[in-house]
Amino acid sequence: MKVIPIKPNPNDWKKPLYVASFKEVSYDDELNEIRMYDEPIYYEYNYQPVSSYLDIQAFGKDAIEMKKIVIPISDKDLFKEYDVAYLEGAIPYNETTDTEYLENVEYFKRDKDTFTELVAGVDYEIGDTIEETLYNKEINNGDNANYVFLPPKEGNAVVIIYCQKIKGK
């Protein structure tokens, strides 16, 4: 019997995700905290549910709602604590409810994980009927994010980022 060695390719485990970097905290009139984020950026990294014994010991019952992202050490400065992520299919766009193209509204067409902005006068005319599924950006950056980053943990070759599910999302 001949044994065929299997060499898994880590690139096969990459999944699409968006990350919005934390900018600052502001407060409304009633002193409620409002977190501000930069525009989300698209990435492809391997992320998985937290499942190791040590991780479950460290996070307890919260481990059920956590993910772990593994990134190369060369990307260590891309992410920081309090950044928010759009995982498991969450995107920084909302399907539009407009039935016709409106003025001063940005419309996007989706092709798999890519969103392309449509241009008025080129891709459509104001007032034309919308006959396909189109998207608008979320109102505030980070609104559709469903995970928040905990402090990244650097190793020799990789950085591990634990993400905690945002309650209610």
* 55 lies in the same domain as 127: no
* 41 lies in the same domain as 76: yes
- 6 CB-contact burial (10 Å; exposed 0-12 / middle 13-18 / buried 19+): exposed
Cβ neighbours around 167 below 10 Å, total: 6
* 77 lies in the same domain as 38: yes
Position 130: which residue type?
Answer: I
* 84 lies in the same domain as 149: yes
Place of tokens 């898994």: 8
Q: Which of 164, 163, 157, 165 is nearest to 71 (CA)?
A: 157
Here the CATH number for the domain that contains residue 39 is: 2.40.10.270
Instruction: Quick: pLDDT tens for 66-75.
Output: 999 999 999 9
* 24 lies in the same domain as 75: yes
Evaluate whether residue 98 is within a structural domain.
yes
Instruction: Quick: pLDDT tens for 118-136.
Output: 999 999 999 999 999 999 9
Q: Which residues pair with 36 in a beta bridge?
A: 24
Reported as half-sphere exposure (CB side, CA atoms, 13 A), residue 133 has a value of: 7
Instruction: Quick: pLDDT tens for 9-67.
Output: 767 788 999 999 999 999 999 999 999 999 999 999 999 999 888 888 889 888 999 99
* 51 lies in the same domain as 125: no
**Residue 130 sits in which domain range?**
93-137
Evaluate whether residue 55 is within a structural domain.
yes
Please tell me the total count of domains within the chain: 2
* 54 lies in the same domain as 75: yes
Say yes or no to pLDDT of 1 above 90. no
DSSP 8-state code for residue 131: -
The secondary structure of 66-81 as a DSSP string is EEEEEEEGGGTTS--T
Instruction: Quick: pLDDT tens for 80-96.
Output: 999 999 999 999 999 99
* 85 lies in the same domain as 109: no
